Structure 1
Amino acid sequence: MRNNQLKQPFQYDKIPIKSLQVVNKRKRAKDTTGTIKRIWSYLAKEKGKLSLVILMVMISSGLGLLGPFMIGTAVDKFIVTKQSAGLATLLISLLFIYLFHSLSIFLQNYWMVGIAQKTIYTLRKDLFHQFHRLSISYFDKRQHGELMSRITNDIDNVNNTLNQSVIQIFSSVLTLTGTVAVMLYLSPILTAVTMVIVPIMFLAIRWITKRTGPLYKLQQKNLGEVNGYVEEIVSGQHIVKTFSQENRVIQEFEERNKDLNHAGFWALTISGFIPKVMNMLNFLSFGLIALAGGILAIYGYVTVGVIVIFTEYARQFTRPLNELSNQFNILLSAVAGAERVFRVMDEKQEETDEKAAKELTTIKGHIQFDHVYFGYENSTILKDISFEAKPGESVAFVGHTGAGKTTIINLISRFYNYDKGEIYLDGTPLKLITRSSLRQHMAFVLQDTFLFQSTIRENIRYGRLQATDEEVIQAAKDANAHEFITKLPNGYDTMLDQQGSGISQGQKQLITIARALLAQPKILILDEATSNIDTITELKIQDALKRLMHGRTSFIIAHRLNTIQEADKIILLEHGKIVEHGSHQELLELKGKYYQLYKGTALEQVDKNGLKI
């Protein structure tokens, strides 16, 4: 089900102003000023080039003001007096002024592009690094496509703004200030006449930006949701088609797309009023200057040249205001994107290692749980868990969905921190071991295989990047993967995508087992590694897993009891507690719940409790 942005229908086309007011209340930026300051902190890293840009902007603004002033001077000196002496010199001066004006604009744009690209490079790098500092729980709660939108659409939005808006805003402010100063010098009365349009312009721009700002923020939010939904549906296209849900997902996409369309339509429509309003005010300003200037010229208060200068300066006066209003809308859109980026960067990172935490170079693989408790958001999942896995032993977990099997694995790998009790590795509490060194001694073979978009060789080598080609091939042989790999057209150099298209699910699992073998871990995690595999391939996988588990402390999550009978220890979990534990034979002799599950005499109870066996 889609999340509505508003409590009531968001129908811009029927009641736009009312809807915009609702959006404005609900979507107002929490800290626009703070976001702009943070963007500036990235720009400030290029102070040298930024100083050159500012210098070029000052030069171009000054030359832009000097040109019209000299044209007005030419009118008074040469046209009104009908004298030509010195006119050639003035025209040549004008030519150089406009040439240097164009050169300064080119240089400021050239340097600003470099600054913007370096800033975006650093921002994107920081965001990507932040992704790797966040805990697994953060990614579990969010759409991956929506997060991808932060590093693509939102940052690109900031990039476009830095390239286009920063210079124009600064240039507009300088031009506006210089224009007003020269106008006051030439004629305070005509300046006052020109300023008549300022309050009208201010009110019009305020009315427009008050409505477009929230809509740009909503547009960015809706864009992220659309990207997230598309990424989710494309990844799950096989499931969509299997259950014939094409029409439903198309309808849900259309709803999200409609929200995005509405927000973008009204943001661009309302912001599009700005040029029209500015053109109307320009015509009004020219009319007022012509009328007032003519009267003042008749009485000798100003010259014809001054009127010409004011006519041009009036355009230069409204142009910066027009640019400022337009860039303000673009800036609001960029701030909306930057807020989303910084929101990720401000998320709580995975807890840092304790100061006393140490790096482990070698381990034996002795794991002990001592009265461990753990919960998610005030909901206790594991309760008083205690067990021991000696080096080289295999421990299997069985139980219904939600019993806590995967949670125990997440605690061993420190994807989550336990609340109470203690977990020991070779007698050392896990919290006193750095996460990186702990995970370097672990390998995972999961139910959902993941392969990178690379060759089979490099996918296997991911287990140990410094491994030689010979070691990669040997790992594939031990995993029973070498035979099918060599039959592929390009062998180990066969390119795979993330879904592993072109090879079967079982073959993908064999590749992940080869990857784990190459890593040479002391602790092994197997999560339903043989599920959904045909019988022949399952035998190959089980044979490969025996080699992989040999001499290693192994933790196995299994739903099919026939896959764990050889485990040294089997732990039956129920509602976060250990209810039975022992070897397969010991649990059968106990004739408890495990015995009932294995003998199949409690199938009705199994169905009722949702147990998967």
Structure 2
Amino acid sequence: MHIEQQEEAVKKRPVGKRLWQYALHFKGSFILALLMLTLAVAADLSGPFIAKAIIDRHIIGIEQPYYVTQTASKDNVSFNDATYKRADRFEPGETKGSAIQILQVGKSFYLISGEAPTTTGVREYQDGTLKITAKGQVWEAAAQPLPLSQLLVFYEPEIRGILYWLGIYILLLAVSIVMSFGKILGLQTAANKVIRKLRGDVYAHVQRLPIPYFDNLPAGKVVSRITNDTEAVKDLFVAVLSNFTSGIITIAGIYVALFILDTKLALFCMVLVPLILVWIVLYRRIATKYNIVIRSRLSSINAIINESIQGMPVIRAFRREKETMDEFEKLNEDYLTYSNKMLSLNAYTSHNLVNVLRNVAFAFVLWYFGGASLSASGIVTLGVLYAFTDLLSRLFQPLTGMVNQLATLDQSIVSAGRVFELMDEQGEERHDGSMPRYKGHVEFDQVSFAYKEDFVLKNINFEAKPGQTVALVGHTGSGKSSIMNLLFRFYDPQQGEIRIDGNVIRDIPKQWLRQHMGIVLQDPYLFTGTIESNVSLGDPRISRKKVEASLNAVGADRVLKTLTKGLDEPVVEKGSTLSAGQRQLISFARALAFEPSILILDEATANIDTETEAIIQEALEVLKRGRTTFIIAHRLSTIRSADLILVLHRGEIVERGSHEELMAMEGRYFRMYQLQFGAQVENQAQSGQIGEPSFAPLEDAGLEGDEFEHNTDASNEEHTKKKRAAIAQAKPASAAYK
């Protein structure tokens, strides 16, 4: 996308509105921080009011009558096998039972039945009788002393209210003492919450993006938007919001004072407001162009760094260090160029321009109003002039702070636009919950699929019954992996239906569908952690005992026994410290631990040495037991015992059947078998030693697609017959072939 197009895209996205919506999630924190900035004086005056509320409502308040209640409430008090609530806490229409009341006489408290007509007057307690004398009248009632333990029962509901008011008092007291500290802390905390939510939403959205989105997007660019761009947005809420809010409040107060001093002088200074607004608009128009390029180049730099680190062995092996460095330097130089342009723009406009405006304003005031004062023309007095110039000087301090934040403001808006651009990508809907474990009856019905325009699968029809093993073979690009991508619903077909147990998978939520599927890739991916965490993937349903059992079942204990820490052996990124066989066995154990009903093995033995392959073959038998299994393989040794073998060519199934049936057909599969095993078997037959055939992949023979026909024509018929006879005598010895 060109710079002009990116700029237009940023303008079209309602960035400000969406940032405001995020801020509203934590409006309490922002409001509190802004109140700390603007209401410092009110904090000092709030102390007596808070003390009054604590004394009247919570300390002396227990002398109000208590009535028996049948309504549950956090304000209820349990006393003498009855539940009471204070009179002022009853809801309108709520039924009141019999009453009791607590009255204090000296340092002691007494309990009376009923309600005293008045609590003011002289109180006395003698011989079980409490007397209240007020205005010459005496009221008395039977009373009993209330021990401290029982008195505290009535204070329990008040503790919450007392702590609430004390918290407010301490908070407001801190505001009055360290207002600026509180302001920064409040805004920083709120900003961190916004960024945490924004970053969490972005990452969650990345998890929902369809697989095709990542086909053409470098991982480093996605990382840059999740980390760098969201961090830049934080400055908007911390520095920009703080400076602009305090600046606006200060400027408003100064203008009020200016109008009180002299209306004409204040009106003159009002000219500065539209000048600042025009200035901000023009600045952002230029700065946005620069910031779009800066953020884009930073994203590209992250992408090339990520790619270089992951591909470092290849770069070193092919001595491409200089070329990689040149590519990096080109992006780095471009980033520096536009960063310098941004610095120049800030240098020309921010602080220097404020000084120019301030000096012009001072010169005008001194020339117009100062000369008149000195000539005693009576426009303003010297005192007013001094006060006015002092206020005018103070006016430009917040203006300077606001203008200096324009660069941060624009950078934050551009970064937010890039983040929201990623979030606007169409994601997949997530569904919570799960579905029962299905049997694994898979049907492909007239399925055709294209990644872009050309169909890579055409009219695919086959059925895999529960517990069967289905193998997919064919040259590179024939459509084997595409079938598995459709089964996992990484993509959906343009034509036809895929059914599991009779249910069309397009109608099943993807998360539910994949819950009972497992996959083992040719190059298994291990995460940073331990061997145990890579098998369980942090799923609480998979215990340590189950992890160990799964590893033992696939034979991994024989390969991993050399590791000193066992299951707790650290695994670095991608498992680079482990061998290919160890990584593959861990991935087998992972698949087994999750107990899928459908298992996909995508060339799972392609990178395994001969010694480890024997263990892997045994592991495969364990994995396949009791579940529908799909095997994508170039090594025909791994699929000889498959219940159904599908031979694909240019996106179509050209042959299907068991190994024996396909060999009898003498078609494409037969020729593939010849290419892989024929030469060695023939040599072994001639020497009288029939052993394990070699496992050269199909592509190693240098033949793909229609080249099979060209190399197996009538001119080679005699040679083919000899090979066929030798193959018929071959009896592979490995357990996988039995």
TM-score by length of 2: 0.70
Say which of 456, 459, 467 aligns to 1:384: 459
Secondary structure of 2:403's counterpart equals helix
Relative distance call for 1:125 and 1:581 in structure 2 (3 A) is same
| 8 Å contact from structure 1 (residues 61, 174) kept in 2 | no
Relative distance call for 1:235 and 1:503 in structure 2 (3 A) is same
Say which of 54, 59, 72 aligns to 2:34: 54
Relative distance call for 1:196 and 1:470 in structure 2 (3 A) is closer
Relative distance call for 1:206 and 1:30 in structure 2 (3 A) is closer
Say which of 291, 301, 312 aligns to 2:379: 301
Say which of 229, 243, 250 aligns to 1:168: 243
Name the CA distance, whole Å, in 2 between partners of 1:51 and 1:477: 58
Say which of 394, 404, 410 aligns to 1:332: 410
**Counterpart for residue 211 of structure 1:** 286
Relative distance call for 1:351 and 1:58 in structure 2 (3 A) is closer
Between 105-114 and 222-231, report the one with greater CA deviation. 105-114
**Counterpart for residue 268 of structure 1:** 343
Which residue identity is paired with 1:606? E
**Counterpart for residue 572 of structure 1:** 647
Name the CA distance, whole Å, in 2 between partners of 1:581 and 1:571: 5
Structure 1 residue 43 and structure 2 residue 23: aligned?
yes
| 8 Å contact from structure 1 (residues 463, 519) kept in 2 | no
Say which of 312, 317, 322 aligns to 1:237: 312
Structure 1 residue 349 and structure 2 residue 427: aligned?
yes
Name the CA distance, whole Å, in 1 between partners of 2:535 and 2:290: 48
Deviation for aligned residue 1:395: 1.1
**Counterpart for residue 262 of structure 2:** 187
| 1:406-450, Cα deviation, whole Å (9 max, x unpaired) | 111011111212222111111222123332232121111101211
Relative distance call for 1:107 and 1:352 in structure 2 (3 A) is closer
| 8 Å contact from structure 1 (residues 201, 281) kept in 2 | no
Deviation for aligned residue 1:390: 1.1
**Counterpart for residue 393 of structure 2:** 315
Say which of 495, 516, 520 aligns to 2:591: 516
Between 568-577 and 323-332, report the one with greater CA deviation. 323-332
Structure 1 residue 360 and structure 2 residue 435: aligned?
yes
| 1:322-351, Cα deviation, whole Å (9 max, x unpaired) | 333332321111111111211222211125
Name the CA distance, whole Å, in 1 between partners of 2:672 and 2:600: 24
Relative distance call for 1:51 and 1:534 in structure 2 (3 A) is same
Map residues 136-535 of structure 1 onto 2, 5 A cutoff. Answer: 136-191=211-266, 193-194=268-269, 206-273=281-348, 274-298=350-374, 299-351=377-429, 359-462=434-537, 465-535=540-610
Relative distance call for 1:477 and 1:593 in structure 2 (3 A) is same
Relative distance call for 1:371 and 1:107 in structure 2 (3 A) is same
**Counterpart for residue 77 of structure 1:** none
Secondary structure of 2:575's counterpart equals coil
| 8 Å contact from structure 2 (residues 208, 430) kept in 1 | no
Secondary structure of 1:350's counterpart equals coil
**Counterpart for residue 73 of structure 1:** none
| 1:528-586, Cα deviation, whole Å (9 max, x unpaired) | 11112211112221221121112221111112223322222121222221111122222
Relative distance call for 1:205 and 1:335 in structure 2 (3 A) is closer
Map residues 66-85 of structure 1 onto 2, 5 A cutoff. Answer: none
| 1:9-66, Cα deviation, whole Å (9 max, x unpaired) | xxxxxxxxxxxxxx56752443467111111111112233333333344347999xxx
Instruction: Answer with 1 or 2: which has the greater Rg.
Output: 2
Between 486-495 and 286-295, report the one with greater CA deviation. 286-295
| 8 Å contact from structure 2 (residues 668, 708) kept in 1 | no
Aligned-residue sequence identity (percent) comes to 35
**Counterpart for residue 662 of structure 2:** 587
Name the CA distance, whole Å, in 1 between partners of 2:384 and 2:423: 55
**Counterpart for residue 93 of structure 1:** none
Between 259-268 and 599-608, report the one with greater CA deviation. 599-608
Name the CA distance, whole Å, in 2 between partners of 1:468 and 1:487: 23
| 8 Å contact from structure 2 (residues 290, 341) kept in 1 | yes
| 1:446-501, Cα deviation, whole Å (9 max, x unpaired) | 01211111111221122854223222112111122113323212121111112213
Name the CA distance, whole Å, in 2 between partners of 1:146 and 1:574: 37
Which residue identity is paired with 2:356? M
| 8 Å contact from structure 1 (residues 24, 211) kept in 2 | no
User: What is the number of equivalent residue pairs in this alignment?
Assistant: 553
Name the CA distance, whole Å, in 2 between partners of 1:464 and 1:103: 47
Which residue identity is paired with 2:16? I
Relative distance call for 1:196 and 1:425 in structure 2 (3 A) is closer
Say which of 701, 704, 712 aligns to 1:606: 704
Which residue identity is paired with 2:405? Q
Name the CA distance, whole Å, in 2 between partners of 1:199 and 1:465: 62
Between 115-124 and 561-570, report the one with greater CA deviation. 561-570
Runs of 5+ consecutive residues of structure 2 not aligned to the other structure? 44-173, 679-697, 710-738
Relative distance call for 1:495 and 1:359 in structure 2 (3 A) is closer
| 8 Å contact from structure 1 (residues 395, 569) kept in 2 | yes
Q: In angstroms, what is the RMSD of aligned CA positions?
A: 2.9
Name the CA distance, whole Å, in 2 between partners of 1:162 and 1:485: 51
**Counterpart for residue 597 of structure 1:** 672
Map residues 537-548 of structure 1 onto 2, 5 A cutoff. Answer: 537-548=612-623
Deviation for aligned residue 1:317: 2.7
Relative distance call for 1:609 and 1:313 in structure 2 (3 A) is farther
Deviation for aligned residue 1:370: 0.7
TM-score by length of 1: 0.83
| 8 Å contact from structure 1 (residues 29, 336) kept in 2 | no
Name the CA distance, whole Å, in 1 between partners of 2:42 and 2:360: 26
Between 35-44 and 121-130, report the one with greater CA deviation. 121-130
Secondary structure of 1:182's counterpart equals helix
Runs of 5+ consecutive residues of structure 1 not aligned to the other structure? 7-22, 64-98
Which residue identity is paired with 1:37? K
| 8 Å contact from structure 1 (residues 461, 518) kept in 2 | yes
Name the CA distance, whole Å, in 1 between partners of 2:303 and 2:645: 40
Relative distance call for 1:61 and 1:40 in structure 2 (3 A) is farther
| 8 Å contact from structure 1 (residues 454, 497) kept in 2 | yes
- Which of the pair has the greater relative contact order for Cα pairs under 8 Å at 6+ separation? 1
| 1:123-162, Cα deviation, whole Å (9 max, x unpaired) | 1221222122222222233111111111110111111221
Deviation for aligned residue 1:194: 4.2
Deviation for aligned residue 1:211: 1.5
Deviation for aligned residue 1:372: 1.0
| 8 Å contact from structure 1 (residues 61, 175) kept in 2 | no
| 8 Å contact from structure 2 (residues 351, 403) kept in 1 | no
Which residue identity is paired with 1:302? V
More strand by share: 2
Name the CA distance, whole Å, in 2 between partners of 1:348 and 1:296: 68
